[in-house]
Amino acid sequence: MLAEAEIRRLKLVRLESGSAPPTKNFDSTSYNLCLGAQYYLFAGKEPTPLLQDCSTGTGVLRIPPFACVLVGTDELLYLPNNVYARWGLKIRPAMSGLIFQAGPQIEPESCGRMFGLLFNLSNSEKTLSYREPLWSVDFATLDGTSSRGVRPLNNSNPTLNLSAYTSRGIPGGSLNAIHADYLELTRQNSAKREYTFGIILIVATVLASIILPLVVSSTVGAEGQISRLEQRVQQLESQASATPSPPAPSPTASKTP
């Protein structure tokens, strides 16, 4: 992996004007790529017909809920024939609900802006400022050795805009369609749960109307039997108390003459 000094020496990252990028965007072994001006928004049933520019006006790119936008980097990469790079979305935008789709590896001799798709998977609008750091990119040599013998790439025909990508017919509104299907499936599942609950409630009511009288009658019958048994016990006890006990024998009568 190349350190900041090697990234600078090889001029792997440049601005469109050809000048060096801002120092604040460098880390020890990587560089923070920023949002470029051009974008192509996919929202609703049809994609936006023209490229738009977020560097004008308020300088903000607005991504509607469940929409997709094709974006590019503000910086240009110039990779020699034995240097490759890897890039990806930074943690902060990812935590806000944005998903980035692009080839993670940048091949040797790549020259120009990097492009990819940003998906807003949240139910709220997301705003990104022009030249806001969004991606982190690091560099390495193919053989893993020192880059001392590597020379900066000089290419006078870098890829600068999104035209080549928007002309490939990326379908618009696909994410919105998926979200609509998800909502419809959720509604159907909810209706099925309510229907099932209604059936269970009806069956439980019918069973209760059949079983409850049987339980009540059984309980009443058992209570009647207990009451009759208690009355019988009381009768026996009263009869026993009313019967006189036999007289005790006289002591003199038992003596012999």
Per-residue pLDDT reduced to its tens digit, 1-14: 999 999 999 999 99
- With respect to residue 251, please indicate whether it lies within any of the assigned structural domains: no
Final residue in a domain of this structure, among 221, 236, 251: 221
**Cα 34 from Cα 114, distance rounded (Å):** 10
- With respect to residue 165, please indicate whether it lies within any of the assigned structural domains: yes
Name the residue type at position 47.
P
Name the residue type at position 168.
R
Task: Give the structural domain span for 80.
Answer: 4-172
Judge if 75 and 165 occupy the same domain.
yes
- With respect to residue 40, please indicate whether it lies within any of the assigned structural domains: yes
* The two three-digit tokens of residue 242, written as one number: 């009313």
* pLDDT of 139 over the 90 cut: yes
pLDDT digits (tens, 9 = 90+) for 203-257: 888 888 888 777 777 776 677 777 777 777 777 777 777 766 566 565 555 445 4
Given pLDDT bands bounded at 50, 70 and 90, which one contains residue 156?
low
Q: Residue 96 sits in a domain of what CATH number?
A: 2.70.40.10
94, containing H or E segment: helix 91-95
Total domains, the chain: 2
